[in-house]
Amino acid sequence: MAKLIDGKAVSAKVKAEAAEEVKVLKAGGITPGLAVIIVGDDPASHIYVNNKKKACAATGIHSEEYALPADTTQEELLALVKELNEKEDIHGILVQSPLPDGLDESAVVEAIDPLKDVDAFHAYNVGRIMIGNYRFLPCTPAGVIELIRSTGVEIAGKNCVVIGRSNIVGKPMAMLLLHNNGTVTICHSRTKNLKEICRSADILVSAVGKAHFVTADMVKEGAVVIDVGMNRDENGKLCGDVDFDAVESLASHITPVPGGVGPMTIAMLMKNTVTAAKLQNGIA
């Protein structure tokens, strides 16, 4: 039976470390600040933003929410980003995804000052991740690395398989595993022999967004299984990409959904905001 990887416990540790750093910065007259922009009325996005605000309050980070109507124009959104780029008490800028139809998300991300890009989505930061000389790491992949480390399992030398090739999770996840000396394979919708490749994984990370996609016959006995998926099953219940009940008996360690990767994303955002405040004040 697999050991559960407790994302809530690991995220609490990361947030506690960030809170200690915030205390030190405040003693030196610096209060890290995060601005979150949300456009439109997507209910899930509003829940995420509220959770981020709560995490900021708990960590001692100053937070500002900019809730814009769904009919906001590209020009208005870019003007707000420009204003926040120039605001000295704001060190991190996050634009909540998805944006309403008609808005160019990539153009908005590219408008954010790379030093304030706490999501690490700007091409400048993506390039730095690629070469291994990064300032910020994307929150979800960075959180996954923390969860793997919490198991005591070494990434170095392990066969690591990532299912999914998104710019937000799949691609950066592969790079972070590679930077930790894993031997990495990325699988996607065109991959042949998917089951065989997944079964070779000592560390299997699924970020495909399909409920119960990873079945027991895709998992090697003793593998570490990280489930990034956040889906609804046929009964509307929250679940991951992994068929948890079937895979749990095979894996050595496994993340639950919810309570696994989810809490880590916001914890790493707090860490990135602290890093951004230090960078902009010449401390890091």
Question: Quick check: helix, strand or coil at residue 205?
Answer: strand
Tell me whether residue 96 is one of the annotated catalytic residues: yes
* Cα gap 107→103, rounded to integer Å: 9
* Cα gap 195→208, rounded to integer Å: 14
Tell me whether residue 217 is one of the annotated catalytic residues: no
Which of these is catalytic: 113, 119, 202, 227?
119
In this structure, are residues 2 and 31 in contact, taking their beta carbons and an 8 Å threshold? Answer: no
Q: Is 254 exposed, middle or buried (0-12, 13-18, 19+ CB in 10 A)?
A: buried
Known binder of ligand: residue 166?
A: yes
Tokens of 110: 């590219």
Tell me whether residue 119 is one of the annotated catalytic residues: yes
* Cα gap 20→25, rounded to integer Å: 9
Count of CB atoms within 10 A of residue 189's CB?
A: 9
Residues in binding site: 164-166
Residues in binding site for NADP(+): 164-166
Catalytic residues: 52, 96, 119
